Structure formats: structure tokens, C-alpha cells
Amino acid sequence: MNDKKHIITIAGKLGSGKSSTAKNVAEILGYTHYSTGDFMRSIADKKGISLGDLNIMGETDPSIDKELDDRNIEIGNMENIVLDSRLGFHFIPKSFKVFLDLDPETASERILKDKENNPNRSKEATGSFDSKESIIDKITQRLTSERKRYKDLYGIENHTSPDNFDLVINTKEIPLEEVSKKVIEEYNNWLNK
């Protein structure tokens, strides 16, 4: 019996297009889109702190990750879902697991461009991303923080390892539409195996 879930979990490095791809794939398939980043922002808003501060707080306060984890597990009981989440692959192991890769230099250029194109976005959404160097520094800090937390909490040595995923795509040279098309194509192949 095929026990695969009709769920796609999409993880990826900052700036790789994870959220945009997840939304696009969900729209094309007629699935519901969820985002752990949105859940985190709502927790940060409730606490009246920045997303960066919430990440740092999460290093010593396991209740933050527990709340996110419970939400991912809840989503894992649904069907016809696309979830963008760094740990979706871990909490929903029967999902089709995708990772979008991108080097920090290209990520910083994309984030700066997005900030320029969306001047009305809150500072909270873009953080103190004022230069390529500050963005690369934030990306490195965030990755270090996440690695520490995920190792301590779940024993995950490297949550960005290709071994965790069914499909890895480097999005540096590939437009969103092509990334989405590849995800859907490989997802359908996976479902039919």
C-alpha cells in the first residue's frame, strides 16, 4: 500500500525562493499553502519582538520550537498541502521533500532587490538588510542558530543536507516558473512510484 501523503514540504536557504515557490506550486496544484515563517512571525508579533530576537530566544526557550513543531505535525495529518518549512521534512516524513539551494552572495542580491522593489514592507519583514555584507552576516547567524537548535532538540546534524530531501534544486539560474514546474513534475513521479 502506498502510504505517501499528498503533501509537499519545501525547505531552502534564505533568498532561494522557498515561499514564492511553495505558493506557486500550491496554486498550480490547487493545494493549500502553509508557511512556518508566517507562524513564526505571528509568534514574534504576539511577543512584541523581532523575528531575529525570536530565533535567539528559541535557542534557550524550547516552547517556541514546540509550538512550531506542533503546527507542522498538525499539518502533516492533512492532505493536498504545500508547506514551506525548514523542518517539514523531519515532521512530515511521508511528504515529498524539496530543498531550494542558493549561495549567500546571490541570496543577498535578491533580498536587497526585493527590499528596493517593496519599499512599503515593514522593517520587520526585511530586517536590517541594508547591504550585501549585512545580509550575508544575517544569513550566517541564522544558519548557525538553527543548526544549534535543531541538533540540540532533534539530533539533526545538518538540516540543509541533500540527504534529507527527495529533490534539491539550485535556484541561482532558474526562474520561479521553472522551479515550480520541476517540483510538480518530480512530485508526480514520486507519487506514482
Estimate to the nearest angstrom the gap between the alpha carbon of 166 and the chain centroid: 15
Residue 124 in this model has a pLDDT that exceeds 50: no
Q: Between 48 and 131, where is the model more confident?
A: 48
Residue 188 in this model has a pLDDT that exceeds 60: yes
Across all residues in the chain, what is the average pLDDT?
Answer: 88
Q: Between 1 and 10, where is the model more confident?
A: 10
pLDDT band at 2 (very low <50, low <70, confident <90, very high): low
pLDDT band at 126 (very low <50, low <70, confident <90, very high): very low
Q: Where are the alpha helices (DSSP H) in 51-175?
A: 51-58, 62-76, 88-91, 104-117, 123-126, 132-154
pLDDT band at 123 (very low <50, low <70, confident <90, very high): very low
Q: Looking at residue 141, what is its pLDDT?
A: 85
Segment 153-180, tens digit of pLDDT: 899 999 999 999 999 999 999 999 999 9
Q: Cβ(38)–Cβ(67) under 8 Å? A: no
H helix or E strand, kind and range, residue 101:
strand 96-101
How many H helices and E strands in the chain?
A: 9, 5
| CATH H superfamily, domain 7-103+161-191 | P-loop containing nucleotide triphosphate hydrolases (3.40.50.300)
Q: Between 53 and 88, where is the model more confident?
A: 88
Estimate to the nearest angstrom the gap between the alpha carbon of 145 and the chain centroid: 15
User: What share of the chain has pLDDT > 70, as a percent?
Assistant: 93
- Residues whose CB is less than 8 angstroms from the CB of residue 193 and which lie 6 or more positions away in sequence, other chains included: none
Q: Tell me the β-bridge partners of 10.
A: 84, 98
Q: Between 82 and 137, where is the model more confident?
A: 82
Q: Looking at residue 125, what is its pLDDT?
A: 43
Query: Look-up: residue for cell 526557550?
Result: 61
Q: Looking at residue 173, what is its pLDDT?
A: 94
Q: Tell me the β-bridge partners of 97.
A: 9
Q: Looking at residue 177, what is its pLDDT?
A: 96
Residue 62 in this model has a pLDDT that exceeds 70: yes
CA-based torsion, 162, 164, 166, 171: positive or negative: negative
